[in-house]
Amino acid sequence: MPTETLRKTVAPYVPQKGEQYMSQRQRAHFRTMLESLREELSADIERTVHTMQDEATLFADPNDRATQESDIALELRNRDRERKLIKKINETILKIDTDEYGYCESCGAEIGLERLAARPTASLCIDCKTLDEMRERQVAK
């Protein structure tokens, strides 16, 4: 979804030899990455609103009307997910500003540059996230 386009607009981070984890350069890179993603998502939301306003049609056929309503409901769910992601991006940028970015909220370990490149809003290291998902599956059963 948006991360595919993001990878095209923001070059991957290449750490310098001996560079300290979450250096100023790394934080600046991830801030740029997050801000680009936020701009893309905001533009998508804006486009959807205008498209929905422009395409609002009253169909005489109940099947056509039902299809349109289903499409709109799906689009609104997608935009709601994106709105929540924008909120998470804003929270993540705040973590960058307070030098808390890149460290696991659960255990305090480094999340890792590769994980952050794949999911820049990650707040848990891979081990804590795996445990969290295992707990979720056990509760769901």
Q: Residue 35 is which amino acid?
A: E
Domain containing residue 109: CATH number: 1.20.120.910
- For the chain, the domain total comes to 1
Q: What is the pLDDT of residues 98-119, one digit of tens each?
A: 999 999 999 999 999 999 999 9
Looking at per-residue pLDDT, the higher value among 90 and 141 belongs to 90
Of the listed ranges 10-19, 43-52, 99-108, 119-128, the least confidently predicted one is 43-52
Q: Residue with structure tokens 């993540």? A: 92
- Average pLDDT of the residues in 119-135: 96
Sorting pLDDT into bands at 50, 70 and 90, what band is 8?
A: low
Determine, yes or no, domain membership for 14: no
Say which residue, 92 or 45, is predicted with more confidence: 92
Range of the domain at 91: 2-9+20-140
Q: Which residue has tokens 């890179």?
A: 29
102: region left, alpha or beta (phi > 0 left; psi from -120 to 50 alpha): left
Tell me whether residue 69 is in a domain.
yes
Q: What digits encode the pLDDT tens for the residues 49-96? A: 777 766 666 777 888 878 888 888 888 899 899 999 999 999 999 999
Which residues, 6+ apart, have CB-to-CB distance to 109 below 8 Å?
A: 103, 125, 127, 128
Q: Is residue 83 part of a domain?
A: yes
pLDDT at 7 over 70: no
pTM: 0.81
pLDDT at 1: 44
Query: Mean pLDDT in the chain?
Result: 88
CB neighbour list of residue 122: distance below 8 Å, 6 or more residues apart: 111, 115, 116, 129
- Specify if 15 maps to a domain: no
